[in-house]
Amino acid sequence: MDLNKIDKWWFAIQVRPRYEFTVSRILRGKGYEEFVPTYKSKRQLSDRKKELELPLFTGYVFCRFDAAVRHPIVTTPGVIRIVGTTKQISRIDDSEMESVQRAARSEITVTPCAFPNVGDRIRIGKGPLAGVEGILTSWKNKQRLILSISLIQSAIAVEIEPGSIAAINGIPYHLWEHGETASQYRNSMERLRMENAACLCVRS
């Protein structure tokens, strides 16, 4: 167990425009664990194209800290506020943050995208994102996994290979391909559970 992380959670810090990297650097210098996921974007300048490294979540820096000790965060130049309600700040779900971190640190193409409303929820079964769950969408004939940070209603898109999908809406992919629905799968699992329980009763 990492004692330095006890009572520390991930929070979203809203910052001034184009201050993401500056705030991140200052927080790192103060000893905080911070995170600004980025992506590469080609921009046309007057005489040439230039590849820029830009924040995936514009206007936000993610930071892990003790919610009871906020003064060093809010006094950092460029910080507007810690995201939350008028009464308290809100922490980010660990699973959401872990998924975004794994995607941003992989060699897979990652881009900003609109926050998802509907879609099939899938789980990746292999590759650098094995175990990660998100919303499945398609764009330009490519399958993309949408990973979101619900607190700030923002999301990123990761290109995936069809063969990497392990489950859709909780149904193993090989069963989903044959048309099995979520309710049918749950009923099948319940019957199997009851059969196993009956077998145990007979043996005992």
Confidence of residue 179 (pLDDT cuts 50, 70, 90): low
Mean pLDDT of 147-164: 90
pLDDT value, residue 177:
52
- Evaluate whether residue 145 is within a structural domain: no
pLDDT value, residue 3:
41
Single residue among 41, 66, 92 that ends a domain in this structure:
92
Worst-scoring range by mean pLDDT, 33-47, 82-96, 172-186?
Answer: 172-186
Q: Phi-psi category of 133—alpha, beta or left, where left has phi over 0 and alpha has psi -120 to 50?
A: beta
Single residue among 63, 92, 121 that ends a domain in this structure:
92
- Evaluate whether residue 81 is within a structural domain: yes
CATH code: domain of residue 60: 3.30.70.940
Number of domains comprising the chain? 2
CA 93 to chain centre: 9
3-state DSSP assignment of residue 125 = coil
Question: Which residue segment(s) compose the domain that 16 sits in?
Answer: 1-92
Single residue among 60, 92, 124 that ends a domain in this structure:
92
Is a pLDDT exceeding 60 seen at residue 183?
no
- Evaluate whether residue 104 is within a structural domain: no
- Evaluate whether residue 109 is within a structural domain: no
pLDDT value, residue 4:
55
Query: Contact at 8 Å (CB) between 197 and 203?
Result: no
From 111, 83, 59, 108, select the one nearest 9 (Cα to Cα).
83
- Evaluate whether residue 77 is within a structural domain: yes
Name 192's bridge partners.
none
- Evaluate whether residue 115 is within a structural domain: no
Between strands 79-82 and 9-15, the pairing is antiparallel
Average pLDDT over the chain, rounded to an integer = 83
- Global pTM reads 0.76
- Evaluate whether residue 164 is within a structural domain: no
The 10s digit of each residue's pLDDT in 66-106 is 999 999 999 999 999 999 988 899 999 999 999 999 999 98
